């Protein structure tokens, strides 16, 4: 039973239904009431209406942006807790001005690294389409592509990109990397070669994105970059959807300019990647494990 004195906590976008079992909430028993929302609300007015009764809002990464427009209409809000080390979708200035504290949980890069390699291997070995073929009464339709001897191109060689690079070396791949601030010495320490952005897209058989979303990286991968890729190359994005221009990626796939792409992130302002299956091009693996 809750009382008016209980702190009211909202957990947003728990569409996998895991929030209450992956963390220990017992310390709040008798002190707070936790309400979990499994659906997603996109309209700012609807977000405000939903959150007005709450003192604390827990957000799953960047699934629901908490903008100035929203925060200014939540006079009761005192705390925002976000999963992960940072959350670009929270207006920190607006929160600070209103005395709303913003805190973050710890973070493990292991899932992102493992998912990246799951998508690379799924693309190279046509796992999704071969599974679909068998389920539809067919048989093997493609010959898989070997990774050994191929070139892995990493956009970003930080904590996650570096771990992806080390696994690439274990697959006997050559590893090249680029980011705005990457030094040749830092790349060499991980066993990679620092190249220009243009050379990375020209040389790589697999391009994998591991950059933080910012004004410098938004739309970084567009038609110009995709046109440099080999027709046999593939793109993987497990970082942020808005780094890749979705309409350009879909066009490149439909026109056969690249062999395939695998993504688990989406641009918030675009619904193109959420189109019916018949509207999505062949060669695209869509794995919405972390839609942002």
Task: Please list the pLDDT of the chain residue by residue as tens digits (292 residues).
Answer: 455 678 999 999 998 899 999 889 999 999 999 999 999 998 999 999 999 999 999 998 888 999 999 999 999 999 999 988 888 889 999 999 999 999 999 888 898 999 999 999 999 988 888 788 778 888 887 788 899 999 999 999 999 999 999 999 999 999 999 999 999 999 999 999 999 999 999 999 999 999 988 889 999 999 999 999 999 999 999 998 899 999 999 999 999 999 999 998 887 544 444 555 556 677 787 765 432 2
- SS3 state at 62: coil
48 and 191 together in one domain: no
Does residue 292 lie within any of the structural domains?
Answer: no
C-alpha to C-alpha distance for 159 and 267, rounded to whole angstroms: 23
98 and 123 together in one domain: no
160 and 122 together in one domain: yes
Does residue 1 lie within any of the structural domains?
Answer: no
Give the C-alpha distances (Å, rounded to integers) separating 162 from 110, 176, 192, 212, 240: 12, 11, 9, 14, 17
Which structural domain range is residue 245 located in? 110-286
HSE on the CB side for 129, CA within 13 Å? 18
Does residue 166 lie within any of the structural domains?
Answer: yes
For residue 229 the two structure tokens come to 């890729």
116 and 87 together in one domain: no
165 and 270 together in one domain: yes
Domain count, the chain: 2
67 and 194 together in one domain: no
62 and 156 together in one domain: no
C-alpha to C-alpha distance for 171 and 155, rounded to whole angstroms: 19
Burial class from Cβ neighbours inside 10 Å (0-12, 13-18, 19+) for residue 109 reads middle
Does residue 143 lie within any of the structural domains?
Answer: yes
55 and 120 together in one domain: no
CATH number at residue 94: 3.40.50.720
119 and 90 together in one domain: no
Predicted TM-score (pTM) of this structure = 0.81
Does residue 291 lie within any of the structural domains?
Answer: no
Picking from 104, 139, 157, the residue at the C-terminal end of a domain is 104
């Amino acid at each position: 039973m809750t009382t008016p004195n209980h702190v009211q906590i909202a957990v947003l976008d728990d569409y996998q239904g895991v929030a209450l079992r992956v963390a220990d909430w017992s310390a709040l028993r008798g002190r707070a009431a936790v309400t979990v929302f499994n659906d997603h609300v996109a309209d700012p007015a609807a977000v405000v209406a939903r959150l007005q009764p709450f003192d604390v809002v827990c957000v799953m990464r960047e699934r629901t942006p908490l903008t100035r427009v929203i925060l200014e209409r939540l006079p009761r809000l005192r705390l925002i807790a976000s999963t992960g080390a940072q959350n670009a979708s929270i207006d920190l200035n607006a929160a600070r001005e209103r005395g709303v504290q913003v805190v973050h949980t710890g973070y493990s890069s292991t899932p992102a690294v493992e998912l990246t390699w799951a998508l690379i291997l799924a693309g190279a070995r046509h796992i999704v389409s071969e599974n679909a073929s068998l389920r539809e009464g067919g048989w093997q339709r493609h010959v898989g592509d070997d990774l050994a001897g191929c070139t892995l191109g990493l956009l970003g060689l930080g904590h996650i990109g570096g771990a992806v690079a080390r696994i690439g070396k274990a697959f006997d791949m050559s590893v090249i990397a680029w980011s705005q601030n990457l030094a040749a010495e830092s790349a060499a320490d991980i066993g990679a070669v620092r190249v220009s952005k243009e050379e990375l897209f020209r040389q790589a058989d697999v391009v994998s994105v591991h950059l933080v979303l910012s004004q410098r990286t938004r739309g970084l991968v567009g038609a110009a970059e995709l046109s440099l890729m080999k027709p046999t190359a593939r793109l993987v994005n497990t970082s942020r959807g808005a780094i890749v221009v979705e309409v350009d990626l879909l066009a490149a796939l439909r026109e056969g300019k690249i062999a395939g792409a695998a993504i688990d992130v989406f641009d918030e302002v675009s619904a193109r990647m959420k189109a019916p299956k018949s509207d999505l091009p062949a060669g695209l693996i869509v794995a919405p494990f972390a839609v942002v």
